[in-house]
Structure 1
Amino acid sequence: MPFAIVLLCLWVIAACIAGMTPQRYHWPAAWVLIGTGIPLLGLLTLSMGPVWGLIALAAGVSILRWPILRAGQRLAGLLAPADEREHPGE
């Protein structure tokens, strides 16, 4: 089994363990998982190819969905027209 797949499996186990910790540790754990997951995704894509890289990316996004959703909300808020930011919902 390729080394990158083994590392990816360990990353998934670490993400599951982080999800079982108290909620106050979720965001710091998410930042650590993102920081280690991006290079791991690059290593996997380099060694196994883009199909496996996309599969791993989908797995990572499904595990870390809240940071992705919050970043999307923040980006949508920045891209919204100025009048809509001042008077939301009108």
Structure 2
Amino acid sequence: MTLSLILACVWALCANFLAMLPSKDNHWRRAYALIAVGIPLLGYVTYENGPWIGLLVLAAGMSVLRWPVVYLGRWLRAALR
């Protein structure tokens, strides 16, 4: 297993741990931090392991951060209308 995949697994473990902690802002600040760390990490995973593994890690990250993805989709749909 490459270093990038190990870091992606650590990111997923941290994301799940942060989701278990109580939050006053519905975890949005934590989601922004996870996105800021996850985007370069996704590029690193794709660079080391290829586009198919990168897409799998992207899908895993989107399943963890599903509400930011839903709101982004709603925003894009409203912007295109």
Answer yes or no: same fold by TM over 0.5: yes
The structure 1 segments of at least 4 consecutive aligned residues displaced by more than 2 Å after TM superposition are none
> RMSD of aligned C-alpha atoms?
1.1
Counterpart for residue 7 of structure 2: 7
Q: Percent identity?
A: 44
CA-to-aligned-CA distance 1:25-77 (integer Å, 9 cap, x gap): 51000001000000000000000111110000000001100000011111222
Partner of 1:58: 59
Unpaired runs of 5+ residues, structure 1, are: 81-90
Shift of 1:23: 3.2
Partner of 1:19: 19
The structure with higher relative contact order (CA 8 Å, sep 6+) is 2
TM alignment of 1:61-80, pairs within 5 A: 61-80=62-81
Q: Which has the larger radius of gyration?
A: 1
**Cα distance in 2 for residues equivalent to 1:76 and 1:23:** 29
SS of structure 2 residue aligned to 1:23: coil
